[in-house]
Amino acid sequence: MEKLLKIARENIKNAYVPYSNFRVSAVLELNNGEIYKGVNVENASYGLSNCAERSALFSAYSNGVKKEDIKTLMIYTDKDHFVSPCGACRQVMRELMEEESKVILANSKGEFKVMKNKDLLPYGFTKEDL
């Protein structure tokens, strides 16, 4: 977890947050050790902004990653409390990551909260519901 935290702390500097000044960094670790990073990217048209979690996942998928390749997603903010993914991110994570994939929330104090992807969105909508 310390390795991911170090990457997340460095990556958070890339966040584009001129409106909220609320930086978020996401680091996706694959089973083979590869890393994909994401940050939140805001837009003057707020609905067009993208969260760090989705940025990391979309980057990974754009490079051929599949859900079974994903081991862990760390979500870091430079706040002293934990910040969990928004509802849109939880839905995307539910679809693009295995249910058992590890999700780690990390804060500026170096504390961690670890859970499984499936625990973030109970009764989430999946392709099986179609």
From edge to edge, which strands make up the β-sheet containing 70-77?
Answer: 35-39, 24-30, 70-77, 102-106, 112-116
Contact 50/23 with Cβ under 8 angstroms? Answer: no
Residue 121 has pLDDT above 90, yes or no: yes
Residue 18 has pLDDT above 90, yes or no: yes
Q: What is the DSSP letter of 46?
A: G
Structural domain contains residue 116 = yes
Residue 127 has pLDDT above 90, yes or no: no
Q: What pLDDT sits at residue 60?
A: 98
- Average pLDDT over the chain, rounded to whole? 96
Domain that holds residue 89: 2-124
Q: What pLDDT sits at residue 1?
A: 87
Q: Confirm whether 53 is a catalytic residue.
A: yes
Q: What pLDDT sits at residue 55?
A: 98
- ∠ CA 117-48-27, nearest 5°, is 35
Structural domain contains residue 8 = yes
Domain count, the chain: 1
Structural domain contains residue 62 = yes
Give me the CATH number covering residue 32.
3.40.140.10
Q: What pLDDT sits at residue 74?
A: 98
Q: Which of 53, 98, 99, 128 is catalytic?
A: 53
Structural domain contains residue 90 = yes
Structural domain contains residue 105 = yes
Q: What pLDDT sits at residue 75?
A: 98
**Considering only CA atoms, which of 85, 106, 81 is closest in space to residue 1?**
106
